[in-house]
Homo-oligomer: A and B are copies of this chain.
């Protein structure tokens, strides 16, 4: 025990992980005594090592071990990071286990000194991004992800929590180093010369035009200001389709290391925007026009369903549980209160949709112009076909961002996508 406490952080590998895990009672208890464990590194993340640890005699018995690295992997070892992010991820996962049970993996162990978390192995789930490229359908997804969004956001916001409790929770999620990565890589670096940016050379003109557009730049700054200052709820802050594992009956959100108290609409925008990117990617992946159009319609139906279910569930749970300090029940119960509460919920949901368009819009741009592109698009072999999808993504992103204050329904967002799709001839 003393020995372990004195041992400094070290990045583990397939060889050293097993000895480490045998010293962790919570993990050891998950396997039969003396089990022959196999380890396989599977991470393709940018920030962490991820291993599957399984019982060789019974491969269904398995756990995931995830350890934070000291540097940003995608950029080589040159970009140092604090390992503290694993603390944030484990804190968020604990909150999600409580608020969204069954929608995140179960957490078995967390070792702060080693920045290492052990959790449920999701062997029957797949990463959503790849499944959508394969045109798979997930009948429960809209229901699951809208519940995840509502439960994780509402129950950590001032809508529900007493003010003191919310702020004490917020203090435990001040996550400045990971915030800085998103601030730079989403809202700043893609729009200036920065060596890590990459984009399809076939849309160089479009990228340069956005970079030189003063109006777009000013609005991106507005959204960045909101990202940096609007501490509404505990947000995941990286909720793309690569952070969702699922199958036909089950959905799990993973990788909340960027979590902090931020604008609710950022998480909603991330989901919707990643679905639209997938929709566009089928210009490269699905040659058959009828098949493509049908699947694109399906994906846009997910966009519609998620927003509408999110809005419906948020309104319902809020109406039933207005116990947070913003505002307490006695405010809404007084004279004129019922009407005022309905108006406040309505304007709040309208604002959240507009901010969803704004953050989602910026995220289209950063995915096309910045350091982290998306596999849906980059896996298209033909650069010409990629450019078709990518140019549409840029146009949609600019329109969602610049027209956000006129958005009154999710249909407005879908209409923009459909108009840009209609302009494509492939």
Contacts and interface: CB of A to CB of B under 8 A. Distances in A.
Nearest to A224: B326
Given A191-B331, A228-B326, A326-B225, A340 B214 contact: yes
B229 A230 contact: yes
B337 A221 contact: no
Looking at A229, A230, A344, the one whose CB has the most chain B CB atoms below 10 A away is: A229
Nearest to A260: B167
Contacts of A158: 225, 228-229
Contacts of A328: 188
A248 interface: no
Nearest to A263: B229
Interface stretch (A8-16, A56-64, A173-181, A408-416): A173-181
A98 to B, nearest CB: 21
Given A224-B326, A336-B213, A164 B193 contact: no
A288 to B, nearest CB: 41
A294 interface: no
A347 interface: yes
A327 interface: yes
A264 to B, nearest CB: 10
Nearest to A328: B188
Contact of A188 (B170, B180, B331): B331
Contacts of A192: 330-331, 334
Contacts of A232: 229
A212 interface: yes
A215 B343 contact: yes
A367 to B, nearest CB: 19
A26 to B, nearest CB: 30
A192 B335 CA distance: 8
Contacts of A164: 176-177, 179-180
Contacts of A339: 214
Interface residues of A, number: 57
Given A214-B340, A231-B229, A336-B214, A163 B180 contact: yes
A424 interface: no
Interface in A24-70: none
A168 interface: yes
A158 B180 CA distance: 12
B211 A335 contact: yes
Contact of A224 (B176, B213, B327): B327
Given A180-B325, A215-B340, A193 B334 contact: yes
Contacts of A168: 174, 176
A218 interface: yes
Closest 5 A-B residue pairs measured CB to CB? A217-B340, A214-B339, A167-B176, A212-B335, A218-B343
30 contacts: A158-B228, A163-B179, A163-B183, A164-B179, A164-B180, A167-B176, A168-B174, A170-B174, A171-B171, A188-B328, A188-B331, A191-B334, A208-B335, A212-B336, A214-B336, A214-B340, A214-B343, A215-B343, A216-B340, A217-B340, A217-B344, A218-B341, A218-B343, A221-B326, A221-B327, A221-B331, A224-B326, A228-B325, A230-B231, A231-B231
Given A217-B337, A218-B344, 11 more contacts: A158-B225, A164-B179, A171-B174, A188-B325, A192-B331, A192-B334, A212-B336, A214-B340, A221-B327, A230-B230, A231-B231
